[in-house]
Amino acid sequence: MTPRIVVTRKLADPAMALLRDAGDVWLPDPDRTLTTAELHAAVAGAHAVVSTLQDRVDAALVDAAGPQLKVVSTVAVGYDNIDVPALRERGVVVTHTPGVLTDATADLAFGLLLSVTRRLGEGERLIRARRPWQFDLGFLLGTGLQGKTLGVVGLGAIGTAMARRARAFGMDIVYTGRPGTRRSDAERELDARLVTLDELLRISDVVSLHCPLTPQTRHLIDADALAAMKPTAFLINTTRGPVVDEAALVDALARGVIAGAGLDVFENEPEVHPGLLELDNAALAPHLGSATTETRTAMAMLAARNAVAVLRGDEPPTPVRS
């Protein structure tokens, strides 16, 4: 029997071709994010669902699909939108796309850091508003990174790639993570030092978030954490919005509790806290971490390979293990 493969958002052509070779592919036309009701209707009878981070994947989705569902393959490294235990309980394999978006996401994180510390957004807004300006020794002065300390929260693949970029800019590295997650290899390579979250917040000039969103990391950066940071420090978030209490961040940025923030993700995406829009010390991007043609193609190919492997009864390249 030909498997039914539901693809919730159109993927790069080579990935669509791979899936079409493996089964009957359904995808929304036109390409758009489905409501939960539409998603549940679409997955009925599916053997594989290739989803994105916007799709809520839980027991209700598996029930809507039916008992033949074998795999949910998300085109993302993060899978906080998926109730993994519920799917596992129902015999559905969950896969994701680690590895292929590491450099793109670290590039974007470092880009946001440069943007906020060198006030690039402010400069561009000023020019586009046609406001008068001229070169001036005191004009739009930013903050240099050399000799400063980067604090990485979550020294996994993307955190490590961010730290490598920071080392190339002359920064020192400290990091923190879940208990028992010492990274001796990265410590040697980057001369990185493991510290507690409290110490990291206290001593870092830049705090960059790379931990997954879990019940433990939701609002990890709240008003108290922000108050613990240096008033000259910057916060970079390219992981998931709810790791930061966005209202507390707006307040901290407005009152100068910290110097600035670079954000690629938001607590209630695609909504952005209106306070952030008023602040010149916030550099904002619309969840672009992995958004290069090369990376999105690689993510799509890996997601397609994962789905096809499970449909064929093989071990997928990158299952969710936790």
Provide the binding-site residues for ligand DGY, judged by CB under 6 A.
Answer: 53, 76-78, 101, 289-290
Q: Which C-beta is closer to ligand DGY: that of 15 or that of 174?
A: 15
- Nearest approach, Cβ of residue 44 and ligand DGY (Å): 27
193 to 17, 89, 160, 215: CA distances (angstroms): 46, 39, 12, 26
Q: Which of the residues 210, 287, 296, 305 is marked catalytic? A: 287
Q: Residue 206's beta-bridge partner residues?
A: 150, 234
Distance in Å from the first CA to the final CA of the chain:
32
| Cα–Cα distance for residue pair 232/33, rounded to 1 Å | 40
- Cβ atoms of 218 and 249 within 8 Å: the answer is no
The least CB distance from residue 201 to ligand DGY, in Å, is 24
Q: What is the DSSP letter of 51?
A: E
Q: At its nearest, how many Å lie between ligand DGY and the CB of residue 105? A: 7
- In the bound state with ligand DGY, the residue whose beta carbon lies nearer, of 119 and 287, is 287
> Among residues 4, 96, 210, 240, which one is catalytic?
240
Q: Which amino acid is at 20?
A: R
Q: Active site includes 119?
A: no
Residue type at 210 in one-letter notation:
H
Enumerate residues 6+ apart whose C-beta is below 8 A from 193. 173, 174, 175, 187
Min. distance of Cβ 79 from ligand DGY in angstroms?
8
Is residue 287 annotated as a catalytic residue, yes or no?
yes
Residues that are catalytic = 240, 269, 287
